[in-house]
Amino acid sequence: MVTGRVVVLGSLNVDLVTRVARHPRPGETVLGEGLRRLAGGKGANQAVAAAAAGADVAMVGCVGDDAGGAAYLHRLSGLGIDVAGVRVCPDAPSGHAIVQISDDGENAIVVVPGANALLDEREVAAVDSLGPGDVLLLQLEVPRTVVCVAARRAAGRGARVVLNIAPYEALPPDVVALADPLVANEHEMQALAESGAQPASLLVTFGGNGASWDGRTRPAVEVAAADVVDTTGAGDAFCGALAAALARGADPDAALAAALAAGAEAVRREGAQPDPYL
């Protein structure tokens, strides 16, 4: 069976993660325990998930001309992901997220977009090779204008546009209308409803309560509480597996089931990607 490709246009971040007894108050210094450098960024997380689900994947984005960016490109290439569409920017660092995890499990995160903010219409050229059967997977950790141009051009070539509207930002109604599906959690769904924009189809995720895609509702794959290690990457695993299933021609029910299974598997491991260390 001939299957389509998945092109992911989005962010690549180096996550620096430490544990703290509690988060510092303004002006206070606390000691962190350990420092891990993990692969992150919603775009790359979803690309890795799509590749793990068996899709032919290309990543489109920007990294800095630094050790973190070089390590990330090497990692993605090793996972079989085409990185020809990732531009190395000499005038900005790779994107970073500084993550503090307290003993009570609460996260405090500072994201430094770095090279992700330099994504521009040069990268959009990568979608020109897309056609019917292919999937363009988008999120909103990169400039909104680039996401909009990419969605319009991919749809104009007959490709399917899957838009994970996270972190939420209002988009032009014509771009929202191209999303089939638009993937949102409950909070993002509410903001979308208030905007009045209507996607071609809407897939809402409810965490441990499953998901619903235009009336097709499936329960979450049950995971014992004792087996939950880290919920960070569940949503990205869901989106990547969904795009992979659609690219191989799965119907909505089968694609939704595959996405939920991938999300459930993701919470059983540390980090937003399998073996996430850079």
Q: Which residues are tagged catalytic? A: 236
User: Could you tell me how far CA 209 lies from the centroid of its own chain?
Assistant: 20
Residue 118, token pair as written in the block:
């330099």
For residue 181, whether the previous peptide bond is cis, meaning omega lies within 30 degrees of 0, is yes
- Give the span between the Cα atoms of 220 and 212, in whole angstroms: 10
Helix (H, G, I), strand (E, B) or coil at 128: helix
Q: For the chain, how long is the longest CA-to-CA vector? A: 60
DSSP H helices, 94-233, are 121-124, 144-156, 173-176, 186-195
Strand ranges in 41-159 using DSSP code E only, listed in sequence order: 56-64, 82-89, 95-102, 107-112, 135-138
Strand 5-9 relative to strand 56-64: parallel, antiparallel, unpaired?
Answer: parallel
Determine contact, residues 220/199, Cβ cutoff 8 Å: no
Residue 24, token pair as written in the block:
């510092």
Residue 6, token pair as written in the block:
């998945």
- Give the span between the Cα atoms of 109 and 116, in whole angstroms: 17
